[in-house]
């Protein structure tokens, strides 16, 4: 096992990514699937952790940023 993802690993990671997305939508536990998958295809633990953390930060930002512009939700919530 090396520290590079090969072309053969891509379909596995895509399938696991879809599964992690579904699990994240239902229970917010995507890392329980995605982190072991990154380790299984040969990424070192540090690289897998950084990749997984980066994904989580982008996921959170993609949900939070659009809701910041929804001023109607903020004004009704404080009323």
Residue 10 counted as domain residue = yes
Residue 66: predicted pLDDT: 60
pLDDT value, residue 20: 81
What is the rounded distance in angstroms from the CA atom of residue 56 to the CA atom of residue 13? 16
In a domain, 66, yes or no: no
The pLDDT confidence band at residue 6, using thresholds 50, 70 and 90, is confident
Write down the pTM of the prediction: 0.51
In a domain, 73, yes or no: no
Looking at the structure of the chain, the number of domains it has is: 1
Residue, of 1 and 65, whose pLDDT is higher: 65
- Per-residue model confidence (pLDDT) at position 76: 54
Q: Is residue 72 part of a domain?
A: no
Sort 3 into a burial class: Cβ within 10 Å, 0-12 / 13-18 / 19+.
Answer: exposed
Asked whether residue 17 is domain-assigned, the answer is: yes
Each residue of 26-69: pLDDT tens digit?
A: 666 777 888 888 888 888 999 888 887 766 666 666 655 665 66
Return the closest-CA partner of residue 33 out of 55, 65, 8, 7. 55
Q: Give 30's DSSP letter.
A: T
In-domain check, residue 48? yes
Average pLDDT over residues 3-16: 85
């Amino acid at each position: 096992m090396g520290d590079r993802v090969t072309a053969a690993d891509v379909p596995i990671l895509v399938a696991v990514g879809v599964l992690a997305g579904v699990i994240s939508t239902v229970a917010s536990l995507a890392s329980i699937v995605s982190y072991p998958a990154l380790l299984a295809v040969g990424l070192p633990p540090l690289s897998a952790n950084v990749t997984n953390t980066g994904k989580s930060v982008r996921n959170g930002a993609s949900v939070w940023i659009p809701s910041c512009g929804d001023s109607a939700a903020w004004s009704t919530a404080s009323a």
